[in-house]
Each structure stands twice: as structure tokens, then as C-alpha cells.
Amino acid sequence: MTSPEDPVNRLSRTALAAAAGGALALPMLVGAPAQAAEEDYEVLVVGKTLGFRHSSIDEATTAIIALGEANGFTVDVWDPPSTSGPFGPSPGQPTRTLASTPFTSADDLEKYATVVFVSTVDGTNSLDPAIPTLLDPSELAAFQGYIRDGGGFAGVHAATDSMHTVPWYGGLTGGGARFVSHPQQQTAVQQVEDRTHPSTQHLGDTWTRFDEWYNFTTSPRPVVRVLTNLDETTYTAGRGAMGADHPLSWCHNYEGARSWYTGGGHTEASYVEPAFLTHLLGGIEWSAGAVDGGGDCVTWLEVDSLLADLVADGSVSAHAAEQIGKQLDKAQAVADTGNGDRAAARLAAASAQVRAHVRDADARALLQEKVADLRTWQSASS
């Protein structure tokens, strides 16, 4: 378990003072800045709600603004007041929000290295298509274009309780997993499955904290790289319990974009908790492309899909794909037993098959890169 006193990577030893518009004082964290001044980038934080409004959205926004001031990024906020919805009016953050929607076009969104959705509940979990979604069709098209052009996405807590009627968004947030229920707030233990990612490398093998723990409609594990998994034996999961396979944070590459999600962050206290702030910062920085680590969330499915696409376009022969695929399947089977070293060895064999059988130079280089990312992940996970 990581204690609040553990060093925090990539942060300067600076007191993160309350950001403009908020009164939350953040703790001092330790490390080196991720970005030099000349490498500053922009982040969009979306706190807009049409459904239930989490009281921690303001604290989350304050924390992200302060993290940006300490780590080389600036923050715009889209959180306008709303006058209607299944839970009544939402106050938004009128002193912080942009004057009009930033979701006007993919080109306009391109200025942001990543877009962070913080508990953006819109009331669509009934799956009624008549209920307005968080983004209207025009805004959604702009966002899709941004993602497909290589933009970044980070989702926090109830970002999975938004746009339930938009399957594309469920794919972006992770494997189609959507919020379905939660028990009362309580302390629980997360098993840290992947310490290679910037958002989890500061943690130990387990992470114990107090929060509101989501149950999801499905496990995203087949599609994403799971970073932490809730241990349901350490708390009461209630109706909708998922059992042993209960991912809580994960990452993947989606339609050209880096996508990261954490189910934590319901409570206001999360945003003064050093370990959680480091987790959040790592997700933002990674999704923005400001930091790398651990094979950059390349997944087994991603490599399998890439191989199939290269066969379809004629860059890789069916025979080559079969030989490579056999080694990939063996590597994944070994990885599923928890033996990262043996999986890495199998991946070396898959890489050898790529070199031996793929004649197209571009296809060979791309496959080699992705298999190398898998190998880095498995080697570091042992």
C-alpha cells in the first residue's frame, strides 16, 4: 500500500495553491516537472452535467488547474450551468467556464493535447434515446473527429455514466464498460496490476483508499490494459458486484487516441490525496502524450487487430499472419498466468516471426514497434 508520504513522480516540490475560482489548498508533492516552459500544452476539462451533479467536480477542476500550473499545462473549462435535466438545474462553474461550447469542430479541439471528462453524468443510463446526451450530435461529431485525429482522453469517475446511448463513447471510455451501480462509500483495496504506467508507477502492489466504488455493466479487460482491479473481498460491493474481475482503472489506444480512465474521484477528499493526485496527473500527462511508459498501453487486442488490418490491405500475407499469430497467442496465454518473463520471451519469438515473414518495410516496422511495446509491458510486470 502506498502511503500519503510516498514521493510523487514528475511533480516539482511546490505547494499547489488553490487555483483561481476555488478555495481548495492542495498538498506539496515531490519530483521533477514533466514539461519545460517552452513545451507547455493545453488541456480541456469538461465538468458539464445534465443529470446528477457530483459535488466534487469543482474540487477536481481546482486540482487539475493547480497540477497544470506545477507541471506545464494550462486548463480551459467547459462546465456551463444548465436549466433542465432529470435531476433539475445544474449550477456548473460559471466563473470558470468558456463562454460557448469548445466542441465546434475537430480543428478547433486540436489545440488541446487531451480532454478530461470529470463525472459528466447526463442521465442517459435508462438507455432512453429521447433523453439528450451530454454532447449534441454536432458536438459529438467534432469530438469524434478530434479523437480520430490523435487527440487524448482522460475520464474520471462518472465519465462512464455519460452518453450511455452512444456506443462509440462507451468504446472510448473503455471496452463498452458503463456505470451500473455502487454501494455506500467505504474503504477498499485495489490490486495494482500494472505498475509500468505513469498513473500507477508510484503505487505498491495494493492501494487502499476510501471512495465510492463503481460496478460496471461488463469488464473492459478483453479490450483495455487494466491498471488496477478492485478486490471485492475487502469491501461490500452490493448489488451489481462483479466478482474477482473488477477493473477500476485502465488505459488503451482508441481510434488513434490515448484513452485513460479511473473509477476513483467521487469524494472531495480525493483531490487533496497525494497518491490519487499523482494517479490523476499520470493519466492526464499520458493521454496528452507528454509522458510515455510501460509500452504505452498497447494491448493484445490492438496488436491482433493491427495484424488483421495489415492482412486485409495486403501488407502482410496470410501465412505470415498465421505464424506471428501463433506466437502472440502463446505469449498472451502465458501472460494470463502472471508470468511476464515467459510472456516476454514468447513475444521475442513473435518479433522474430515478423522479421522473417513480413516483407513490407512499413508494416514490418509497425508490427515490430507494437510487439516491442507488449514485450516492455510484460518484462516490467514480472
CA–CA separation, 380 and 195 (whole Å): 8
Strand 73-78 versus strand 186-192 pairing type: unpaired
Q: Is 112 helix (H, G, I), strand (E, B) or coil?
A: strand
pLDDT score, position 112: 98
What percent of the chain lies above the pLDDT cut of 90? 85
pLDDT score, position 34: 33
Is the whole model's pTM more than 0.85, yes or no?
yes
Q: pLDDT tens digits for the chain (382 residues)? A: 333 333 233 333 233 333 333 333 333 232 333 333 346 999 999 999 999 999 999 999 999 999 999 999 999 999 999 876 666 788 999 999 999 999 999 999 999 999 999 999 999 999 999 999 999 999 999 999 999 999 999 999 999 999 999 999 999 999 899 999 999 999 999 999 999 999 999 999 999 999 999 999 999 999 999 999 999 999 999 999 999 999 999 999 999 999 999 999 999 999 999 999 999 999 999 999 999 988 999 999 999 999 999 999 999 999 999 999 999 999 999 999 989 999 999 999 999 999 999 999 999 999 999 999 999 999 887 6
Q: What are the residue ranges spanned by the domains of the chain?
A: 14-287, 300-381
DSSP 8-state class, residue 41: E
| Architecture, CATH, for domain 14-287 | 3-Layer(aba) Sandwich (3.40)
Sign of CA dihedral 189, 197, 262, 307: negative
Residue carrying the nine cell digits 483531490? 271
pLDDT score, position 83: 76
Lookup: cell for 114: 487531451
Residue 270: which residues within 8 A CB-CB, separation 6 or more?
56, 59, 60, 211, 264, 276
Lookup: cell for 202: 508510484
Residue pair 201/220 in contact (Cβ under 8 Å)? The answer is: no
pLDDT score, position 11: 37
Name the amino acid, one letter, at 218: T
pLDDT score, position 84: 67
| Angle between helix 340-357 and 361-381 (nearest 10) | 170
